[in-house]
Structure 1
Amino acid sequence: MSKSVITIAKDFSRYPAGRYLSDGPCSGTKFREEFLIDTLNRNQHADIIFDGARGYGSSFLEEAFGGLVRLGFSKSKILEAFTFISNNDPTIPDEIIDYIDEAEEEK
């Protein structure tokens, strides 16, 4: 399994916000489509670095990661594919896992 690093502030935006593409150019949907799905489909691994951005709204995080579950990816596959790293806000990884769990419960 090859490994990459996705630094959201550098590779995507310092201002990630919104859930849908209609919410703006840096939405959770766009991040999921441009970075996450390809990693999962190629059975690769990526460290996702959350530091450096101006913050993360729940709509961005829920759509990016909970949205993967709604597209048919399992929690185990998502957690195998990604390591969530946030030194500035250590609650982000747990928040993401909560959104994944909630999306699985809704299925």
Structure 2
Amino acid sequence: MNEIRLAAQFSKHPAGRYKTDGPYSGELFRERFLIPIINSHEKTVINLDGARGYGSSFLEEAFGGLARMYSSDLVESLIVLDSRDSNLIQRIKTYIKEATGRPSRKQNFFSRNIG
């Protein structure tokens, strides 16, 4: 399984919804990292630890935006969230579910809480 360490490979300071909001936006993360995961159909771990924090606009645009482009079921089947912060994982799950306007059909969204 592939792994992306967001803080090391993208930024320790992810912020903003759109690329016009700054250099490390949710839109840019989605384009550079998340869409290629979907296109490759390879299950990938996204390690979220090490960043200085995540704003709702970044998370919603990156993960909710991905669920709007594809199905939440496809997103959930290919992306494994990994963090010591279980609340962060839950927030992302919520953005994915809300983006499609319905709860996920998948009972166990793949996630790892290492804390």
Name the TM-score, length of structure 2 as normaliser: 0.85
Alpha-carbon distance between aligned partners in 1 of 2:99 and 2:37, rounded to the nearest angstrom? 20
Please give the secondary structure, in 1, of the residue aligned with 2:41: coil
Distance (whole Å) between structure 2 residues aligned to residue 101 and residue 18 of structure 1:
20
Q: Does 1:86 align with 2:83?
A: yes
Equivalent residue letter for 1:70: R
- Deviating beyond 4 angstroms after TM superposition, the runs of 4 or more aligned structure 1 residues are none
Deviation at 1:4, TM superposition (A): 0.8
Match of residue 104 from structure 1: 100
Would you say how many aligned residue pairs link Structure 1 and Structure 2? 102
1:54-80 alpha-carbon deviations (Å, 9 max, x no partner): 000000000001101222x11111111
Over the matched positions of the two proteins, sequence identity in percent amounts to 48
> 1:6 maps to which residue?
4
Rounded Cα–Cα distance in structure 1 between residues aligned with 2:43 and 2:25: 22
Which residue is equivalent to 2:56? 58
Unpaired runs of 5+ in structure 2? 103-115
Amino acid at match of 1:93: I
User: Superposition RMSD on alpha carbons, in Å?
Assistant: 1.1
TM-score using structure 1 length: 0.91
